[in-house]
Amino acid sequence: MMRGRGLVNQLATLVVTILTCVWMTVPAYAEDGYDLWLRYTLLSGEEANAARPFVGGSVQLLADRSETINRAISELGEAGAAMTGLKISPHPQLVLARADRVESGSYLAEIRLVGAPEGAFSIRTARNGRIAITANDDIGLLYGTFALLRHVQATGSNEGVERFSAPAMPLRMLNHWDNPDGHVERGYAGRSIFDWWHLPEKLDQRMIDYARANASIGINGAVVNNVNARSFMLEPRYIAKLKRLADAWRPYGIRVYLSARFSAPRDIGGLDTADPLDPAVRAWWQAKADEIYAAIPDFGGFLVKANSEGQPGPQDYGRTHADGANMLAEALGPRGTVIWRAFVYSAEDETDRAKQAYAEFVPLDGQFADNVIVQVKNGPIDFQPREPFHPIFGAMPNTRLMLEAQITKEYLGFASHLAFLAPMWKEVLDAETGRMGSVAQVVAPAGLAGVANTGSDRNWTGSHFDQANWYAFGRLAWNPSLDSETIAREWAAQTFTRHPASIDRIANIMLGSRETVARYMTPMGLAHLMDTGHHYGPAPWVCDLPRPEWNPCYYHRADEQGIGFDRTVSGSDALSQYHPSVASQWADPAQIDPRFLLWFHRVDWNERLPSGRTLWEELVGRYDRGIAEVDAMTASWALLEDVIDPGRFRDVSQNLAIQQAEARWWRGTSLAYWQSLNNLPLPEGAQPVPDTLGEYRARRFPEAPGQ
Amino acid sequence: MMRGRGLVNQLATLVVTILTCVWMTVPAYAEDGYDLWLRYTLLSGEEANAARPFVGGSVQLLADRSETINRAISELGEAGAAMTGLKISPHPQLVLARADRVESGSYLAEIRLVGAPEGAFSIRTARNGRIAITANDDIGLLYGTFALLRHVQATGSNEGVERFSAPAMPLRMLNHWDNPDGHVERGYAGRSIFDWWHLPEKLDQRMIDYARANASIGINGAVVNNVNARSFMLEPRYIAKLKRLADAWRPYGIRVYLSARFSAPRDIGGLDTADPLDPAVRAWWQAKADEIYAAIPDFGGFLVKANSEGQPGPQDYGRTHADGANMLAEALGPRGTVIWRAFVYSAEDETDRAKQAYAEFVPLDGQFADNVIVQVKNGPIDFQPREPFHPIFGAMPNTRLMLEAQITKEYLGFASHLAFLAPMWKEVLDAETGRMGSVAQVVAPAGLAGVANTGSDRNWTGSHFDQANWYAFGRLAWNPSLDSETIAREWAAQTFTRHPASIDRIANIMLGSRETVARYMTPMGLAHLMDTGHHYGPAPWVCDLPRPEWNPCYYHRADEQGIGFDRTVSGSDALSQYHPSVASQWADPAQIDPRFLLWFHRVDWNERLPSGRTLWEELVGRYDRGIAEVDAMTASWALLEDVIDPGRFRDVSQNLAIQQAEARWWRGTSLAYWQSLNNLPLPEGAQPVPDTLGEYRARRFPEAPGQ
């Protein structure tokens, strides 16, 4: 009896404890998104039992201990404990092996690793049930670890994890447009994550979590300051701060780069010139590079915005971009890379900004030093919701080119609009240049740079769905042949839920979202219609800014008759900068994908398109479709209430409500303005425009970031 | 057999589950401080069993359901679940009772509630074991709930919880110097917590957690924008945003106030004057107030900074502060309050800024309308590490006066220096005015305003210990007779640990910390020695700013002979603004508390003080003691490594390292500068000054906030 009662009592206590525990695994408060896609939620009992031997943190190591290996092991430990509920896994069956420690003939030997690029890894399951991650280098083992964890998180199992993976390009980097005072240019997620003020004494936990997040998707470099750079960041005080970051990030394979202001020798060096051919200037940069490398042996190099939008550069001294870049490249030597931006529109051809960068850079092909990369934006204007790929891609066969994408959504609704950008980037990466294969192939020897969307907000990116763009950028830089849906689904599974129908729903919302934004903001190839300065909302009427190409009217060219920018031979002939095989798809207004129509052609409002509708009818229809799609996204999200934690569910819902209102604002404003020019009524069935043009024009947003 | 085996199997499963659960209660990552003092950590098993009936979320309700009651119940539910590990408490024994629902003679009847101010509550334990919280109003029940939870959190038990509590003053409010663009003036914790841009569509979870935190310590009002106000915040767009905040905060008893720019009728009202006696101006404010109250029936009122530091005001039209304040008071009527700041130094007496506010305001005593409060900073200059209390306190018997304290540490090392401010505020609150009792008694009919230290940082206040200043401000506004040690201990217990020796240690670090900062920054009554603009670090040499009272040299008046500001009858005679019984304690340099010496007296460097040391020796000794104390605080904190979670332990450690360095910077710079004037060697035994004055003067901090 006593024994029985004791057992019953024990059981009762256990039940109480279990009640406690079951409760404890449900977050007391809503999730805030800080953990990004590395949430490591508890697997089901069966899944946990199966996964436990592989993600438990105990591994068999065929490699020397290193800081990077330690990070892999601690990540496995934390992830395993969180996913399986046990801190230490019994019977560990995971092997981390350096390829050079594997005997030939062993089941761990992986032929594809021979000559594979840095970071490549193989994951294979042996007949004895063990899983082995093999790589040529420690960072490959860390990447392989994250790949395994990603797969288990996303699917609940190690079954079907990728067998072999190698990065498609050497540089996969973020560009932070962060100023040292904490302001982020085009940032919509709070202040800068970099606390320059308190570095080097204080290293915020965010700096570690940032590196973890980047490493988990293969990002391996970060330019930590704005391309509109301040020279004092090259001073010794800042080199000490940079060193602290570099030391913290090194185990995660992240190299530190710095935006360098070209006039630094004048600004802080005591010289009276920054002429790149001046020996004193060259000596100053050489000494500066040596000083940096003494502190940071793996310093990545300099990113330079020169002779663009008021930034100093070699042209101030009658020198070329190549003269400037090569001077810095010499200072760095084989230790690092100069990344020189092609985002210039200073000039030669006043008729079309879209042509200017090509005109300035293509003649320099072959003149850049080996350790110079020219960084080219995805399109020829400036990160618009849709642009054709930049004509420089493929046109500089003797220059390493890097693609610059914008992760922060300066022109796609800031953080509050849901727009998944992978399809936009894929559109450019997959584009055939007609000369050197696809854009992805053109940039393969260099890499991808993404203008970061990170900030001090608890969710890092200002909204939960913008985390997906950071994630997708990293995944595509590693492997540009991944399709958008794969990325969306694996992100959604890790970030929100593994419930299959919900993943379908979330992926579905994501995949069309960028097209939706393009429809209600800049349909049919329109571009650059946003308000001045902060770039928030529409202002197609603006036509009085000092430089012509700063004005929306310069881009849409709308009047009573028609709308659009003629870039064919009858107009600016920007089309001729593309290879004929490429240009031909855009040359004929009757053949062109209508999503590019007004980018390349000027069309009368009443001209009838292949669809059978007039341009005006087609345009209004696309605005309306954009609105309808946002409404549908919102309705679809609402059905996820029981699946998503309440905090993030509400955050996203609130953003979608803003997006619904702002999509209508874009449509209403645009239509009211076009109507003020063409005097056409709205096509039958279209919703009326709720406000007058005067009311739209009177709106002011003094609190919009970037004001 | 089968049955037995089943049981064993079941038990095995349970053990696995329990292992899981035990692990799950240890945070996977370091704490980030977001939960403030409302962490609700798990009690020990015995404590939890005892507390479960009282904090479980099930209550017996003798009150009608209201939003405020719902908040009390949900807080009990979340807190109870987290502290006791059970979501629903069996056998709830907590009663929430409105006094008007209690029958006389019941054990719930509380005589002290009769006529008690809004928010008062009683907590009593009945003979049947029940705990009853009784109040005249719902907000009192919420305050009582938080009081009970605070006590259980801090002590592990409901034993000894306070029996009765009533607020000492009606207004207990935060002043946010937050601009609508997200910048916080004198903010050291990131951006503003107010997302004006996305309001009203989006209400961040922070807005709820902010209200909870405030309600938990009795704060009942918030001025949501900077006293350097923008007029557009009075426009309809912003009233909609304010309404959303007010609706969210109402259940927590927080009323919304707005800083109003006095020139608004001109700026946004289409008038060509803001003259308070102009009928059109009066009508404009009346209509504006009506518009606000239509949206927010319990709008608190306006805070106004007028004719101070360039802000517009009634003096622009030859009117007085009373004219301006009364005009706004008439517009609000009995619905709200005008809070008019006395922080002016525009003028009459060029000889001493410390006298100017008194000179401008005291003559207006009795002229302010009933719903006007004059808000006076704690001291006559500007939130220095130590000032005597403001002479206006006690000198305006016919005016309601409110004390303005600064929670954000503009002059006490920003967020990185550890300085617990309760002792500083107590020094002022406890000060006898000689006319109307203590300062606390003078302000009792009005209240306390604190310039908030909140921001978007994950820990809210830029550092974990600065949370204590927010907490202490609220506790002192509720009850200024609380002593600093009580506040420090209850905060530390809730925020860090209930381990008794560790509470001793943390409280010990906190209690001397403000005095320590005063020692290494501005010992012996020195003040206003900080660098220009950002106010970061020392710059005693500055003497060339356009207005004399902006210059450190104006305050220290140091030269070859001596140092200090003679405010006695032989000098500016600011001393005469105090009641003779108060002034007498400061009049004699031989009798004065040496911590006020140089505030009131000019003293020769070589003058011998009552301590037997010369002024110079005494001064150096105090700087040195400040340094030694920071070192001791750092060493003491280091011993807490095993008690504090790793994230917060490291955060605090890193800040202390910064504080050690910056304390030495203050000492070194100050001594180098004083020596450049007095040519005296350092006293024997003093550490040398590590850098030259030139080196200290050359330091630049372009990334310091406020730059």
The CATH code belonging to domain A518-698 is 3.90.1330.10
User: What residues 602-621 of chain A have any CB closer than 8 A to a CB of chain B?
Assistant: none
- B25:A25 CB<8 A: no
Mutation target to probe the A interface, by most A beta carbons within 10 A, among B20, B645, B699, B701 is B20
Find out whether A226 and A178 touch, Cβ atoms under 8 Å. yes
- A181:B87 CB<8 A: no
Residues of chain B with CATH 3.20.20.80: 171-480
Q: Which residues of chain A have pLDDT under 50?
A: 1-29
pLDDT tens-place string over residues B575-617: 999 999 999 999 999 999 999 999 999 999 999 999 999 999 9
pLDDT tens-place string over residues B509-525: 999 999 999 999 999 99
Across B98-123, average pLDDT: 92
User: What is the pLDDT at residue A85?
Assistant: 85
State ipTM.
Answer: 0.91
Residues of chain A with CATH 3.30.379.10: 36-165
For residue A298, give the nearest of A387, A402, A221, A380 by alpha carbon: A221
E-state strands within A187-261:
221-223, 255-259
The rounded distance, in Å, linking the Cα atoms of A607 and B321 is 67
User: What is the pLDDT at residue A28?
Assistant: 35
Find out whether B158 and B123 touch, Cβ atoms under 8 Å. no
User: What is the pLDDT at residue B29?
Assistant: 43
For residue B447, give the nearest of B471, B478, B472, B469 by alpha carbon: B478
The rounded distance, in Å, linking the Cα atoms of B268 and B264 is 6
**Tokens coding B367:** 């002229």
Q: Three-state DSSP class for A339?
A: strand
Q: Which one of 3.40.50.720, 1.10.340.30, 3.30.479.10, 3.30.379.10 gives the CATH number of domain A36-165?
A: 3.30.379.10
Q: Three-state DSSP class for B305?
A: coil
User: What is the pLDDT at residue B57?
Assistant: 65
pLDDT tens-place string over residues A561-593: 999 999 999 999 999 999 999 999 999 999 999
Chain A residue numbers touching B81 (CB-CB < 8 A):
23, 28
- B20:A86 CB<8 A: yes
For residue B425, give the nearest of B439, B442, B446, B435 by alpha carbon: B439
Q: Cα dist. B421→B82, B405, B488 in Å? A: 30, 10, 10
B482 inside 8 A of chain A by CB? no
- Strand pairing category for B131-135 and B121-125: antiparallel
pLDDT tens-place string over residues A290-332: 999 999 999 999 999 999 999 999 999 999 999 999 999 999 9
Across B665-683, average pLDDT: 98
User: What is the pLDDT at residue A52?
Assistant: 87
Expressed in percent and rounded to 5, the helix, strand and coil fractions of chain B are 45, 10, 45
Phi-psi region of A694 (alpha: psi -120 to 50; beta: other; left: phi over 0): alpha
User: What residues 173-212 of chain B have any CB closer than 8 A to a CB of chain A?
Assistant: 180-182, 190-191, 196-198, 201-203, 205
User: What is the pLDDT at residue A29?
Assistant: 43
A88 inside 8 A of chain B by CB? no
For residue A342, give the nearest of A306, A368, A315 by alpha carbon: A306
**Tokens coding B406:** 């600064």
H or E segment at A512? Answer: none
H or E segment at B619? Answer: helix B615-638
CA angle A583–A584–A585, rounded 5-degree value: 95
H or E segment at A671? Answer: helix A646-678
For residue B262, give the nearest of B298, B230, B240 by alpha carbon: B230
- B458:A19 CB<8 A: no
Find out whether A317 and A337 touch, Cβ atoms under 8 Å. no
User: What is the pLDDT at residue B11?
Assistant: 38
Q: Is the peptide bond before A610 cis (omega within 30 degrees of 0)?
A: no
Task: Report which of residues B162 and B384 the model is more confident about.
Answer: B384
Q: How many CA atoms lie within 13 A of A196 on its CB side?
A: 25
Fold of the CATH domain B42-165: Chitobiase; domain 2 (3.30.379)
Taking 80 as the threshold, does the pLDDT of residue B22 lie above it?
A: no
User: What is the pLDDT at residue A109?
Assistant: 86
B91 inside 8 A of chain A by CB? no
User: What is the pLDDT at residue B89?
Assistant: 64
pLDDT tens-place string over residues B606-663: 999 999 999 999 999 999 999 999 999 999 999 999 999 999 999 999 999 999 999 9
DSSP B109-151: --GGGTTPPTT-EEEEE-TTS-EEEEESSHHHHHHHHHHHHHH
Residues of chain A with CATH 3.20.20.80: 184-417+433-453
Chain B residue numbers touching A18 (CB-CB < 8 A):
14, 17-18, 21
User: What is the pLDDT at residue B373?
Assistant: 98
Alpha-carbon distance B659 to nearest alpha carbon in chain A (angstroms): 10
Fold of the CATH domain B171-480: TIM Barrel (3.20.20)
Find out whether A664 and A679 touch, Cβ atoms under 8 Å. no
DSSP state of B607: P
Active site residue B47: no
The total of other beta-carbon atoms located within 10 Å of residue B404's CB is 24
User: What is the pLDDT at residue B691?
Assistant: 97
Residues in CB range of A462: below 8 A, 6 or more apart = A188, A189, A190, A414, A415, A416, A453, A455
Q: How many CA atoms lie within 13 A of B230 on its CB side?
A: 17
Q: For A567, phi and psi rounded to 5 degrees?
A: -110, 15
User: What is the pLDDT at residue B55?
Assistant: 83
Find out whether A341 and A404 touch, Cβ atoms under 8 Å. yes
Residues of chain B with CATH 3.90.1330.10: 518-698
- A191:B456 CB<8 A: yes
Active site residue A64: no
Residues in CB range of B246: below 8 A, 6 or more apart = B255, B256, B295, B296, B298, B299
- A40:B28 CB<8 A: yes
**In three state form, how does the secondary structure of B439-466 look?**
HHHHHCCCEEEEECCCCCCCCCCCCCCH
First-to-last C-alpha distance (Å) of chain A: 78
Going by pLDDT thresholds of 50, 70 and 90, the confidence category of residue B5 is very low
Active site residue B382: yes
A267 inside 8 A of chain B by CB? no
For residue B448, give the nearest of B255, B222, B116 by alpha carbon: B222
List the single range of A300-304, A693-697, B52-56, B691-695 with lowest mean pLDDT: B52-56
The CATH code belonging to domain A184-417+433-453 is 3.20.20.80
